[in-house]
Chains A and B, each alone.
Chain A
Amino acid sequence: MKTETRTSLGVGASAPRPDGALKVAGAFAYASDLWLDGMLWGATLRSPHPSAWIRSIDVGPALALPGVFAVLTHEDVPGAKFYGLEHADQPVLAVDQVRYQGEPVAIVAADHPETARRAAAAVVVEYEVRAAVTDARRAALDPACPLVHPGGNVVRHQPVRAGSAGSGAEVVVTGEYEVGMQDQAFLGPEAGLAVPADDGGVDLYVATQWLHVDRDQIAPCLALPEDKVRLTLAGVGGAFGAREDLSMQIHASMLALRTGRPVKIVYGREESFFGHVHRHPAWMRYEHGATADGRLVYVKAEIVLDGGAYCSSSPAVVGNAASLGVGPYEVENVWIDAYAAYTNNPPCGAMRGFGAVQACYAYESQMDRLAAACGLSPVEIRVRNAVSQGSRLATGQVIDSPAPLAAMLGELAAMPLPGPPAYAPSGSRRQGGSGARARGMIGTREEPDPRRLPGGVGRTTRGEGVRRGVGYGVGIKNICFSEGFDDYSTARVRVELLGGEPHALVHTAAAEVGQGLVAVQAQIARTELGVDRVTVAPADTSVGSAGSSSASRQSYVTGGAVKAACEAVRRRLEALAAADPGLSLGELLDRYGPVEETREYRHRPTVPLDPVTGQGDSHTQLALCVHRAVVDVDVELGLVKVVELAAVQDVGRILNPLALEGQIHGGSAQGLGLALLEEIQMRDGRVLNPSFTDYLIPTILDMPPMRLSILENPDPNAPYGLRGAGEPPTLSSTPAVAAAVRAATGLALPRVPIRPEDIALAHTG
């Protein structure tokens, strides 16, 4: 057989997205677009209270409405009443009590969505409101705090102990930092369609990140064997972690099984804010000790994450915050305590960056303080302490693949800065204090271009009081699931003749959520099989688990599985070719028929962190990204315009340059949002801003041009040497933007998002 590798759209090419033409034409079917004749619409009644006993539920008034087919409560859950990713502590429908505002209490199916909503509202629930626990620090650390769950309020406490903390430092900087509650805010709300099957099971078409873990949670609650719960991925309108937990899956299935009709549930935007977990808000206290020349001697940190009402993935988030809590820096003595606490706030769980984001904001803020205390530049302090291959993390884990952080910082710092500020710093009358002349500031005299000024567009000022700042941020993120998780993916690859031409069919359960995974799977098949024509089958549970589209892991793990399955197919084809020399691939397939192989792929095993010392090789791969942000700040009005973001990231091996750049752009945009805009406003356990008018995500005008440099230092343990890429930019962009605003204003700004008033109030003159 002649192995043809002439294919031009293999690994390394900017292969177009197979679903791209449909998406730009509006013809791609998202979960919310699904439709079956005769289907019913589901709706969910949610708790208005963050904490209450349920004294009674009367579904009668709802059932009495014409067009209503079913009204179900916890009593109607056929099997297990609770589910969860790590602990099954979350009720399918509230049982006797509610622990957060928005907790599902009852579900309805009706023949029109409006009828379903009205019926849900007609369910009469008698609550006895209790005091809500809303302070995570108190929940975690104060033994007198009321319990949200009987087992205690601490979801996980993970210490990390290395060396002996607290001695020998010549310079000490401390700081307290906070990160607000960020929302994933995908544009396509939660949606799915459940179809009752003749065998008593259910077929569920749903937008999710991990079909099999959904099924593993759904089936016990429906009291069905796994093979009677079949999931197919529907079009996913963004995920970013918010589709890792279940939302409407069990509810729609229950309603479908009860009514014998297909049931569609689509959340509205407001409901979406209540219908998925958020990024953990964090309170963090750090102390860094260093030598006078800026070499870290010790780091102490206390990190408290608000886990909200249910466990979700909080334990793993704590594991990341603890194990990556000092960042990519060499330091011998480490004393970290990371906690997640139960509160009556909304449940928090997975969001892009997953525990590493919060810590990164704090440790990078600390590195800037240390730089200032030691009289070093932000770049120099980071270079002096940078990890490299062979470095030992605080957990004792040795970085065993390239980690060229110092070189990345050097490259970043050498990138040209954007054009001069679009303003003319006015004369001495508007000079700021010495703090405002901090390192990183640039001052030039130029004619103003009023359009390029903060406030979006310049109509807010003509330049007086506008100052430029430059800031740096560095992030380190674990790729794939850590701490001993059996993290694998499955791929089935079949090569056959279609229309007389060799064709490869790749089938996995991996969720395309926008990251470009469908394209990458096809690219791998082309490269490994030398076949141009590749189809990626729809993801469903008729093939083995692919694991989650999270932790930046799918190119690695599902990519690895597709590669392994292709290699197995290729070996069989080679064996056939050896027996029948001289035949082309097409002739071989014609003679011997289709060749199909299925393979599981696992990354290297990891181990859980020691619960007392936090030691252990908990991660399989680590990825670095560094950002430089340039901002213009109108200090009088508190407005920030990010002028440019520059990033250097080492991805090991580029599989698809265009899609990769998009991932870095997108991660950077979400980090920018956390730095300047995004926070779910909570008051006494209630969400105040569940809309896109009040929860602001960056618009295209907020997102500046980006300069990228992408490095390829392969990881010998990973397929093609690749390193997961989706999350690291989300880490480092936030501290870079915050540092730039600090450099422009001279303010401490210990909390993100930074609001206009945080700046303007300090410049009230």
Chain B
Amino acid sequence: MDARITLRVDGRVRPLALDTRTTLLDALRDHLSVTSPKKGCDHGQCGACTVLLDGRRVVSCLILAVTCDGAEVTTAQGLAQEGEPHPVQRAFLEKDAFQCGFCTPGQVCSAVGMLEEVKAGHPSEVTDDLTGPVTLDDEEIRERLSGNLCRCGAYVNIVAALREEAES
């Protein structure tokens, strides 16, 4: 069954005609040639397909595109502003927070979404006092990014990259 939807992807309005079975990830990759979200597992188990959907980080592989009509989608490619990498992207570069890089666009989107959640005061599983303010220490960074697998094991440097972001 076909459906017509419109997405705003990385700032561009993109009308689409697609089969209702199409996931947001496949819509981005196969219909719009936006390949920065990666298909690492296609079952919501690795985080490589993470994008920001109306500002919130989500795994795009488990979301049907047809449910996103009118939504704003930001991928790693869209985080850069006027050719300048997003501060999180710059921090990943400076700390060598990746190796093969396959998980990196998802890591970056997840980190950007995570920082917003912290700003909004959302607790995590490691937040000791559920009712108190959140301080983004290393353990908080780790727990909050645990939905993004990195098999190269660049984790130590990812923590370092986001520690800088947390402090700034």
A residues with CB within 8 A of B: 14, 16-17, 19-21, 23-30, 32-33, 35, 114, 184-189, 235-240, 266, 268-269, 449-452, 456-459, 513-516, 658-659, 661-663, 665-670, 691-693, 697-701, 703, 705-706
Contact = CB atoms under 8 A, between A and B. Distances in A.
Given A451-B139, A691-B45, A701-B143, A237 B33 contact: no
B108 interface: yes
A514 B99 CA distance: 4
A666 B99 contact: yes
Nearest to B140: A451
A74 to B, nearest CB: 29
Contact of B153 (A24, A188, A667, A692): A667
Contact of B156 (A237, A513, A665): A665
Contacts of B157: 661-662, 665
Contact of A35 (B33, B99, B100, B142): B33
Contacts, number: 188
A14 B149 CA distance: 25
B16 interface: no
Contacts of A451: 126-128, 139
Contacts of A692: 40-41, 43, 45-46, 149
21 contacts: A20-B101, A27-B36, A29-B35, A187-B38, A236-B100, A237-B38, A456-B125, A456-B143, A514-B100, A516-B99, A659-B96, A662-B96, A691-B41, A691-B45, A692-B45, A692-B46, A698-B153, A699-B149, A700-B146, A703-B155, A705-B159
Interface string B96-138: 1011111111001000000000000000011110000000001
A21 B90 CA distance: 8
B27 to A, nearest CB: 14
A24 B108 contact: yes
Contacts of A236: 100
Given A24-B98, A185-B151, A187-B151, A269 B41 contact: yes
A-B complex: 8 closest residue pairs judged by Cβ atoms? A26-B36, A514-B100, A669-B153, A23-B101, A237-B102, A666-B153, A26-B76, A26-B105
B60 interface: no
A450 B128 CA distance: 7
B18 interface: no
B77 interface: yes
Given A25-B85, A187-B46, A236-B100, A697 B35 contact: no
A26 B60 CA distance: 15
B165 interface: no
A700 B142 CA distance: 5
B148 A700 contact: yes
A643 to B, nearest CB: 11
Contacts of A186: 100, 102, 151
Interface of B: 21, 29, 33, 35-43, 45-46, 48, 75-77, 79-80, 85, 89, 92-93, 96, 98-105, 108, 125-128, 138-139, 141-143, 145-159
A513 B102 CA distance: 10
A25 B46 contact: no
Contact of A666 (B38, B40, B43, B152): B152
B42 A268 contact: yes
B139 to A, nearest CB: 5
Contact of A458 (B104, B105, B126, B150): B126
A458 B128 CA distance: 9
Given A662-B157, A699-B147, 4 more contacts: A25-B77, A186-B151, A692-B45, A700-B141
B141 to A, nearest CB: 8
Given A514-B152, A667-B153, A20 B38 contact: no
B103 A187 contact: yes
A20 B93 contact: yes
Contacts of A668: 153
Question: Counting chain A CB atoms within 10 Å of each CB, which of B101, B105, B139, B143 scores highest?
Answer: B101
Nearest to B90: A24
Contact of B125 (A187, A459, A703, A706): A459
A701 B47 CA distance: 14
Nearest to B51: A26
Q: Among B41, B43, B102, B147, find the residue whose CB has the most chain A CB atoms closer than 10 A.
A: B102
Contact of B37 (A26, A27, A667): A26
B125 A28 contact: no
B150 A700 contact: yes
Given A237-B102, A269-B42, A21 B93 contact: yes
A701 B142 contact: yes
Given A665-B156, A665-B157, A700-B158, A25 B36 contact: yes
B149 A187 contact: yes
A703 B150 CA distance: 11
A449 B139 CA distance: 12
A697 B155 contact: no
Contact of A240 (B40, B145, B151): B151
A693 B43 contact: yes
B129 to A, nearest CB: 10
A19 B41 contact: no
B125 A238 contact: no
Nearest to B108: A24
B151 A238 contact: yes
Nearest to A236: B100
Contacts of A449: 128
Contact of B89 (A24, A185, A693): A24
Nearest to B128: A451
A25 B104 CA distance: 8
B146 A699 contact: yes
Nearest to B26: A113
B75 to A, nearest CB: 6
A26 B92 CA distance: 12
A648 to B, nearest CB: 16
A668 B104 CA distance: 20
A457 B125 contact: yes
Given A21-B85, A700-B148, A662 B33 contact: no
Contacts of B143: 456-457, 701
A188 B76 contact: no
A30 B13 CA distance: 26
Contacts of A516: 99
Contacts of B43: 269, 691-693
Contacts of A515: 99
A269 B43 CA distance: 9
Contacts of B48: 187
Contacts of A21: 85, 93
Contacts of B127: 451
Contacts of A17: 96
B39 A32 contact: yes
B102 A188 contact: yes
A665 B155 contact: yes
Contacts of B147: 699
Contacts of A30: 35, 38, 102
B133 to A, nearest CB: 15
A666 B154 contact: yes
A385 B135 CA distance: 48
A178 B89 CA distance: 42
- Determine which residue in B33, B79, B104, B153 has the highest number of CB atoms from chain A within 10 A of its CB, and name it: B153
Given A35-B33, A187-B40, A703 B153 contact: yes
Given A238-B100, A451-B126, A666-B153, A693 B45 contact: yes
A38 to B, nearest CB: 14
Contact of B138 (A32, A188, A513, A705): A705
A689 B158 CA distance: 28
Contact of A26 (B35, B96, B128): B35
Given A26-B104, A456-B143, A665 B153 contact: yes
